[in-house]
Amino acid sequence: MKRFQIIVFRLALLVVFLLAPASPRAADPDALWKIVHGQCVPSEGGGSGPAPCSLVDLADGYAVLKDIRGATQFLLIPTTRITGIEDPQLLAPGAANYWEFAWQARRLVTERAGRPVPREDVGLAINSVHGRSQNQLHIHIDCLSPETKRALGQQAGRIGRSWARLETPLAGHLYFAMRVEAADLSSIDPFRLVADGIPLAANLGDETIVVAGAVLDDGKPGFYILDDHANVAEGDRGSGEELLDHQCLVLK
């Protein structure tokens, strides 16, 4: 990597570091867009590679950026302007399946971990408008927290094919959950599942969605789809990222 690319990469990491969810409105809300649209896409399109991103897919319209927080956390970001979970483009006919792209990008988590990461240790999350710092759609890709994995395992027998509220809180919040039987997310749209199945989800901007990889009771691969409705007045900002662990302790 040339010296200039190294400098740009370090500056990008510094910007992403400023996206800490502890103060969701403190950072530049367009920082991710500036990195992807202003640096990663032109670099990839010009033949210089995806830096400062780890991956840019111009055909499918997304980039994957390493987040400075944690050893294994990545962000899946569209290369077109999509503000976030509330953007109507996500429910439009023929919309890109960013969840599937994010699931496939989990290989980058494995590479950073330096060891195999079982599907049941991987989580994808998108925060509500109240629990994010950026106005560009981004899906967090990382390890599930050990507590989340354990709680889902304990309640697995009660998670069915339709939405129901979990009996045990996750990170202090009561999530709705459902299971899907599939090896990947190519035919599954969590945005649509929430929009059509959760009564409170009239405004998707108030929702946070987490997709947890799973091995189901019959040994087949699947997923648990989780949803929480933000309630800022009660201290719930709708940040599904809370179910991920950027230290990836689940592997230890």
User: Could you tell me the residue ranges of all domains in the chain?
Assistant: 3-251
> Is the pLDDT confidence value at 6 over 60?
no
CA distance 64 to 101: 9
CA distance 177 to 164: 6
Mean pLDDT across 76-105: 97
| pLDDT for residue 27 | 75
Q: Do the beta carbons of residue 180 and residue 190 sit within 8 Å?
A: no
Q: What does DSSP assign to residue 159? A: -
Q: Do the beta carbons of residue 184 and residue 100 sit within 8 Å?
A: yes
Q: CA angle, 110 as apex, 108 and 113 as ends, to 5°?
A: 110
Two tokens, residue 187: 């035919």
> Is the pLDDT confidence value at 94 over 90?
yes
Give the model confidence (pLDDT) of 47-68 as tens digits. 999 999 999 999 999 999 999 8
Q: How confident is the model at residue 39 (pLDDT cuts 50, 70, 90)?
A: very high
Two tokens, residue 16: 């992403």
Q: How confident is the model at residue 16 (pLDDT cuts 50, 70, 90)?
A: very low
> Is the pLDDT confidence value at 18 over 50?
no
> Average pLDDT of the chain?
91
Two tokens, residue 42: 């032109």
Mean pLDDT across 97-125: 97
Strand partners of residue 245:
143
> Is the pLDDT confidence value at 46 over 60?
yes
Q: Which CATH architecture describes the domain 3-251?
A: 2-Layer Sandwich (3.30)
Give the burial string for 56-86 (b: 16+ CB within 10 Å, else e): beeeeebbbbbbbbbebbbbbbbbeebbbbe
Residue 124: enclosing H or E segment and its boundaries?
Answer: strand 122-126
Task: Please state whether the peptide bond connecting residue 50 to the residue before it is cis, i.e. omega within 30 degrees of 0.
Answer: no
CA distance 90 to 191: 7
> Is the pLDDT confidence value at 154 over 70?
yes
Mark residue 114 as left, alpha or beta (left: phi above 0; alpha: psi -120 to 50; beta: remaining): left
CA distance 228 to 92: 22
Mean pLDDT across 160-165: 96
In 3D space, the residue among 49, 73, 173, 200 whose CA is nearest the CA of residue 125 turns out to be 73
Percent of the chain with pLDDT over 70: 90
Please tell me whether the overall predicted TM-score, pTM, comes out greater than 0.95 for this model: no
Two tokens, residue 168: 């045990």
Two tokens, residue 162: 């339709």
Two tokens, residue 21: 């969810």
| pLDDT for residue 20 | 42
Give the model confidence (pLDDT) of 130-142 as tens digits. 999 999 999 999 9
3 state DSSP class of 5: helix
Give the model confidence (pLDDT) of 180-191 as tens digits. 999 999 999 999
| pLDDT for residue 10 | 41
CA distance 76 to 189: 16
Q: Do the beta carbons of residue 143 and residue 251 sit within 8 Å?
A: yes
Give the model confidence (pLDDT) of 183-241 as tens digits. 999 999 999 999 999 987 779 999 999 999 999 989 999 999 999 999 999 999 999 99
CA distance 112 to 74: 10
Strand partners of residue 212:
123, 224
| pLDDT for residue 11 | 41
